[in-house]
Amino acid sequence: MKIKTYAESKQQHADNLKQSIVEAAAMILQEEGPEAVTIRRVADKMECSTKIIYNLFNNKDGLIKLLYIEGCNVLATSFKSVSKQENMENYLRDLCETYWDFSRNNRGYYQLMFGGAFHDFKPGDESIHATNTALQQFIEIITEAIEEGLIMEDDPLQVVRVIWASLHGVIHLYLGGHIQSIETAKCLYDTTVTNLIRTYLRKYT
Amino acid sequence: MKIKTYAESKQQHADNLKQSIVEAAAMILQEEGPEAVTIRRVADKMECSTKIIYNLFNNKDGLIKLLYIEGCNVLATSFKSVSKQENMENYLRDLCETYWDFSRNNRGYYQLMFGGAFHDFKPGDESIHATNTALQQFIEIITEAIEEGLIMEDDPLQVVRVIWASLHGVIHLYLGGHIQSIETAKCLYDTTVTNLIRTYLRKYT
DNA sequence: TCTAAATAGAAACGATGTTTCTGTTAAGGA
DNA sequence: TCCTTAACAGAAACATCGTTTCTATTTAGA
């Protein structure tokens, strides 16, 4: 059995602590929303001073970045629980529904990731990569559909982005209070999904 | 000629002052972005203390609300400069392009109105009404298209919202840094508009 | 054991939205 | 005209935020 050096042990302790801090922040995020995620609140929950957090993360953005990745993992997990279907239309609908449900069930994560809740956080390369990983299942099915000739496009990523942007538009207008009721928003979402499927799966039928 | 009473005169002075404050805030918003719009900055520009602003507006949200309405007016003016066209598709494209240009040329207003830049501002009835007024030209053309049988839907507002949400989705993902280059975003926008027109103007051709 | 380096907690700094305190200014009646 | 009273404006204060500094303690290595 390999013995950990002192430095390694220290590093592991730091990593564990870091993860605990992220989890504490995630709890606050989901229970009380993005505004409640402050360094002091997280430090209180961890029963430590703010200095420790600043020792492990450069600044608040460093913590937000990990929360972003955590959110991507949640989204990715949701997508992975969608069972593949023979019928491409149903499969696509399920994936869209999963994205919609994610925004509803993880409002805090959604606002942090895509809602711009932390206005001085901009996703860097790492965040973008995590996002693409989360959307991978989406990208794969579109790639497949293109290969099977079901979709007349050449760039799957572009197609996914069009779908993503449309769904996000509805969700974000709702979260911003521009769509007043959830029923109206859901109705808009349904129409949008139907339109997208019509556009991409039946373009030349 | 009607003589203004003292109270009226005072009221007018208050109204003028209020308008000047909104304009000062609007200048800061457009030149330096939403983060720069603080009560103290506005007070500095007006060369007065913050108290005056709080006397005229209940709180910062009161000022933001007027900026929101101002932004709606800018958007409405942009739409009004779009000349009507016989060809419905071209007309629709022009209106979409105008919305896109608004987000590019008035980034500050866009972030304030639809980007959620001020996270504790939620549009109330007045703001919603101003938004609908700004989008009225859009609503009218869709209503017309429905009446002429060019679009197979019954609720024009619903159609406009679907279009609005789709465009907003692209713009907001770009502003949030999830679409990295403006070229990619423009490309996404073009595809989205084409899809929307296909969907609504050629549904049964 | 002693010195030096790392670290953690409390306090402080600058900025924010907002309120309070205080002095000045203006209004209206005697 | 003068005096009282109410409106108002400016400065300072308060609570909170992200972040830094200061100081004391703990720890590492010689």
pTM for the predicted model, two decimal places: 0.95
Residue B66 lies in a domain: no
- Considering only A116-120, B116-120, B151-155, B171-175, which range has the smallest mean pLDDT? B151-155
Q: How is B106-170 classified by DSSP, letter by letter? A: THHHHHHHTS--STT----HHHHHHHHHHTHHHHHHHHHHHHTTSS--S-HHHHHHHHHHHHHHH
Same domain, yes or no: B120 and B192:
yes
CB proximity B172 to A under 8 Å: yes
Q: ∠A112-A116-A118 over CA atoms, to 5°? A: 70
pLDDT of residue A4: 60
- Confirm if B188 and A161 have CB atoms less than 8 A apart: yes
Confidence class of residue B5 from pLDDT cuts 50, 70 and 90? low
CB proximity B162 to A under 8 Å: yes
Same domain, yes or no: B91 and B35:
no
Structure tokens at B124: 């109330």
CB proximity B179 to A under 8 Å: yes
Residue A9 lies in a domain: yes
| Residue B46: DSSP 8-state | H
Nearest-nucleotide field for B6 (CA, C1'): C27
Same domain, yes or no: B94 and B154:
yes
Q: Tell which A residues from 28 to 87 touch B, by Cβ distance under 8 Å.
A: 34-35
Residue B63 lies in a domain: no
Same domain, yes or no: B82 and B15:
no
Sign of the C-alpha dihedral, residues A156, A201, B181, B34?
negative
Residues from chain B contacting residue A175 (CB–CB below 8 Å): 116
CB proximity B132 to A under 8 Å: no
Percent of chain B with pLDDT over 70: 93
Chain D bases near protein CB atoms (7 A cut-off): 8-12, 16-22, 28-29
- Check if residue A59 sits with its Cβ under 7 angstroms from strand C: no
| Statement: residue B6 has pLDDT above 80 | no
CATH of the domain at B40: 1.10.10
- Confirm if A118 and A112 have CB atoms less than 8 A apart: yes
Same domain, yes or no: B91 and B48:
no
CATH of the domain at B79: 1.10.357.10
Taking alpha carbons only, the member of B125, B111, B159 closest to residue A177 is B125
Neighbours of B23 (CB within 10 A): 15
| Statement: residue B153 has pLDDT above 90 | no
Same domain, yes or no: B171 and B124:
yes
pLDDT of residue B154: 85
Of B117, B168, B199, the CB nearest to A172: B168
Same domain, yes or no: A2 and A90:
no
Tell me which protein residue sits closest to nucleotide D7, measuring alpha carbon to C1': B55
Same domain, yes or no: A4 and A38:
yes
Q: What does each of the 205 residues of chain A score in pLDDT, given as a tens digit? A: 666 665 666 677 778 899 999 999 999 999 999 999 999 999 999 999 999 999 999 999 999 999 999 999 999 999 999 999 989 999 999 999 999 999 999 999 999 999 999 999 999 999 999 999 999 999 999 999 999 999 988 899 999 999 999 999 999 999 999 999 999 999 999 999 999 999 999 744 4
Residue A98 lies in a domain: yes
Confidence class of residue B205 from pLDDT cuts 50, 70 and 90? very low
Q: ∠A81-B166-B84 over CA atoms, to 5°? A: 165
- Check if residue A74 sits with its Cβ under 7 angstroms from strand D: no
| Residue B36: DSSP 8-state | G
CB proximity A117 to B under 8 Å: yes
In angstroms and rounded to an integer, the radius of gyration of the C-alpha atoms of chain A is: 20
| Statement: residue B187 has pLDDT above 80 | yes
Average pLDDT, chain B: 94
Same domain, yes or no: A131 and A184:
yes
- Confirm if A108 and A64 have CB atoms less than 8 A apart: no
| Statement: residue B113 has pLDDT above 70 | yes
- Check if residue B65 sits with its Cβ under 7 angstroms from strand C: no
| Statement: residue B14 has pLDDT above 90 | no
CB within 8 Å of A97: residues ≥ 6 apart: A193
| Statement: residue B1 has pLDDT above 70 | no
Question: How far from A15 is each of A4, A9, A46, A93, A158, CA to CA, in Å?
Answer: 14, 10, 15, 39, 37
- CA-to-C1' distance for B126 and C24, Å? 38
Residue B135 lies in a domain: yes
CB within 8 Å of B76: residues ≥ 6 apart: B133, B134, B136, B137
Residue A64 lies in a domain: no
Tally the domains of chain A. 2
pLDDT of residue B13: 79
Domain extent at residue B42:
1-58
Residue B64 lies in a domain: no
| Statement: residue B204 has pLDDT above 90 | no
Cα(B111)–Cα(B99) distance, integer angstroms: 13
Residues from chain A contacting residue B37 (CB–CB below 8 Å): none
- Check if residue B60 sits with its Cβ under 7 angstroms from strand C: yes
CB contact under 8 A, B119 and A117: yes
pLDDT of residue A161: 98
CB proximity A119 to B under 8 Å: yes
